[in-house]
A and B are shown apart, each in its own frame.
Chain A
Amino acid sequence: MSRVRTTGLHVTSAALAVLFLLPLLWTLYSSLTGRQAAADGRGWGVANYQRLAEYGSGLGSYLVNTAVVALVAVTVTVVTTTLGGYAVARLPFPGRNLLFLVTLAILMVPYTTILVPLYILLGWLGLQNSLVGLGLVLAVLQLPFGLFMMRNSFAALPVELEEAALVDGCTVGGALRRVLLRGVLPGIVTVALFSFLAAWNEFVAPLIFLTDGAKFTLPLALFNLQSGSLGSVDFGALQAGVVASALPCVAVFLVLQRYYVRGFSSGALKG
């Protein structure tokens, strides 16, 4: 490749990179320096974050609510798809293909269309306005990807590994726990990462399922902050909120990046 062309590519990439980073950096910057950021008018300050911390039930409780939902979703997704993926990959049982197909069908049914019946159903189960109920629903949405990922992970392990453990006196469950889990760990991290990002950021499901302001998740509380005060939106606090909401996701993504890319290249997203 000619040098001119290489330089051109680099310049284009760099310009685009600035464009992609700018909104994020601007929000971070203006949340710390905006008109209301410092107590004395101009300069750096955390006044926006202080107002956000005292908004509604308090930033702390919204963060805890969101974390509870994410924790339920991630735990349920990981446990059910690890067990289910192992069963589908290695244990022949009646209804195996049916379960696999019905689970994958969740992908074909866009979940916003079943939120209304889910709202009624959660009411019957006593899980309306419940963070656990919300976490369970969000876990179900992650099952197709999770099951596919874990089934492939178990199928990729050599059968000899399990046989050796069985010969050495392990039970099937013991072999899974002591030997196979280590082999599928990358798959588990990938599933957990996807599940966390989806649950932490979910907006429409909590909007419908949560009615009690004290149980709101962070995206929902921020939406209230923006839409609740018509005409006089506190942009400083809103920007602080966007930072609080985005920072954990950006951090988790940067640390676990290669697992994310793995999710794509493992074929789970390929045709």
Chain B
Amino acid sequence: MVSPSPPALSPPTTPAPAPRRRHSLRRQRRRLGLLYAAPMAVLVAVLFVIPLGLMVWMSVNHWPLLGASAPNGVANYQALRDPLFLRAVWFTLRYTAVTTVVLGLVAFGLALLVQRNRPGVGIFRTIFFLPSAVGLAATSLLFYGLFNTEDSPLNQVVRAFGLGQVDWLGSTDSALGSTTGMITWRFAGFYMLILMTGLHSIDPVLHEAARVDGASRWQILWRVTLPLLRPTLALAAVLSLTGSLLAFDQFFILTGGRHDTATVVIDIYREAFLSQDLGRAAAVSVATLAVLIVLNVAQLRLLRREGR
């Protein structure tokens, strides 16, 4: 993610020939700037700004999937009181909390393990990162097989321990646990890389000084490394929170939202394409977006303060 303040743009750089030519040159560069920026501006306007406005407009209209739409005030926002939606919110929050903690701990452990440049460490970094190159949908299908075929290594290990047949996705809690395991496998390397970048930006002199002062490894970790790592940790937390709050692929593929494992985005999808009510789907989207923006702004503000 990127700092939200307008970054200092480098001053325009114009070669400086004779005064009159300079004037026309500057105008020429302005025109070129507009020309070069135009394709991106058009894309952003048509496929980002307009849909945002349309979303708000749709949320105050009765807007069936097929057929004519008509304004209906805030009736769509009744969707926020739907018990199905509230259950989806609760499940999403639980999933977000569990995933963020588990994923964070595993990724931090991996980052500590591979942070130092030792011979052969590059191979381990690559291996830990490799699952992140596989798509989330493909990962979910892979684990669907891992959970559901009898001779998969997972089920063989479970049998070897005499636990018999385990239904990995059979209840809310087991689906939550299994999915968290899968997501940790898929994303640990990604967050490892982020945390490692943070660890590398800490001046080694500080660690050296703490060691000379007689601090133990544990003390160095708690008193030196973690406090200095706070901006990176905050960034990782923002990414993980946003990603989990918007979880869709994993549950849509693994459980199809059964056993109360529907997330907020699955709820939006159901409102839109199963109930065929785009207005209600837009209302839930607006509410979700508002919550996430507040969350992101708060986190980024925190991040910037720590960064100074």
The residues of A with any CB-CB pair to B shorter than 8 Å are 6, 9-10, 12-13, 16-17, 20-24, 26-27, 30, 76, 79-81, 83-84, 86-97, 99-104, 106-110, 112-114, 116-121, 125, 136-137, 139-140, 143-144, 147-148, 155, 159, 162-163, 166-167, 172-173, 197, 200-204, 208, 219, 222-223, 226-227, 233, 235, 238-239, 241-242, 245-246, 249-250, 252-254, 257, 261, 264-265, 268-271
Contact = CB atoms under 8 A, between A and B. Distances in A.
Interface in B44-87: 44, 46-52, 54-55, 58
B289 A116 contact: no
B37 A88 contact: yes
B144 to A, nearest CB: 6
A242 to B, nearest CB: 5
B132 to A, nearest CB: 8
A118 B51 contact: yes
Given A94-B34, A101-B6, A118-B51, A249 B134 contact: yes
A149 B195 CA distance: 20
A270 B190 CA distance: 13
Contact of A107 (B2, B28, B43, B121): B2
Interface of B: 1-4, 6-7, 9-10, 12-13, 15, 26, 28-34, 36-37, 39-41, 43-44, 46-52, 54-55, 58, 110, 113-114, 118, 120-121, 123-124, 126-131, 133-138, 141-146, 148-149, 151-153, 185, 188-189, 193-194, 197-198, 201, 231-232, 234-235, 242, 245-246, 248-249, 252-253, 256, 265, 268-269, 272-273, 278, 281-282, 285-286, 288-289, 292-293, 296-297, 303-304, 307
Contacts of A223: 137, 141, 253
Contacts of A239: 142, 145
A224 to B, nearest CB: 11
A80 B33 contact: no
Contacts, number: 301
Given A83-B39, A271-B1, A92 B33 contact: yes
Given A23-B142, A93-B30, A227-B256, A84 B303 contact: no
Contact of B30 (A92, A114, A137, A270): A92
Contacts of A148: 2
B259 to A, nearest CB: 16
Given A110-B292, A203-B249, A223-B141, 19 more contacts: A9-B118, A23-B146, A27-B142, A84-B37, A92-B26, A95-B37, A100-B7, A113-B268, A117-B55, A172-B28, A203-B136, A204-B269, A222-B141, A245-B138, A246-B133, A261-B193, A268-B2, A270-B232, A271-B303
A112 B248 contact: yes
B51 A92 contact: no
Contacts of B129: 253
**Pairs of residues from A and B, 6 with the lowest C-beta to C-beta distance, nearest first:** A201-B135, A93-B33, A91-B33, A203-B137, A92-B12, A84-B40
Contact of B55 (A116, A200, A208, A271): A116
A227 B141 CA distance: 10
Contacts of A109: 48, 52, 289, 293
Contacts of B113: 9, 12-13, 16
B47 A118 contact: yes
Given A99-B44, A203-B249, A114 B51 contact: yes
Contact of A113 (B33, B39, B138, B285): B285
